[in-house]
Amino acid sequence: MEKRPIKESVIVRRILTYLKTVPHCFCWKEHGGMYGTAGVPDIICCIDGRFFAFEVKNETGVPTALQEATIRRINAAGGVAVIVRSVEEVAGEIRRCQG
């Protein structure tokens, strides 16, 4: 029997649950659709004054060109924007930046 990839929505929920345990963290899920801004990462957060943006993909997910461009723009502006596939990757990125 073939294993199905975890849904991105499940990974997003797990990451948000984790971020709620991080001290001095304010975060939210950015919702797409007609009222959202295309290309903006799934999760936006500020931790101790540092801007983070996490584009969540499952193990087979690939970012769009617009998502990649937005990530580059956030990083160029001094924020931290990355593609993540797990809570562990988010935690590692936060640790790396708090170094």
- Angle, alpha carbons 78-80-82 (nearest 5°): 140
pLDDT of the residue at 99: 72
Q: Which residues of 1-38 are buried (b: 16+ CB within 10 A; e: fewer)?
A: eeeeeeeeeebbeebbebbeebeebebeeeeeeeeeee
| pLDDT of 1 higher than 70 | no
| pLDDT of 83 higher than 70 | yes
Q: What is the mean pLDDT of residues 69-96?
A: 97
Higher pLDDT among residues 38 and 57, named by residue:
57
**Domain residues of the chain, as ranges?**
8-98
18 phi/psi in degrees, rounded to 5: -65, -45
| pLDDT of 2 higher than 80 | no
Record: fold of 8-98: Trna Endonuclease; Chain: A, domain 1 (3.40.1350)
pLDDT of the residue at 57: 97
Whole-number percent of the chain with pLDDT over 70: 98
Q: What is the mean pLDDT of residues 13-27?
A: 97
Q: How many Cα atoms within 13 Å fall on the side-chain side of residue 5?
A: 11
pLDDT of the residue at 50: 97
Residues 31-55 pLDDT 10s:
877 777 889 999 999 999 999 999 9
Angle, in degrees to the nearest 10, between helices 8-19 and 87-98: 40
Task: List, in order, residues 6 or more apart from 23 with CB less than 8 Å away.
Answer: none
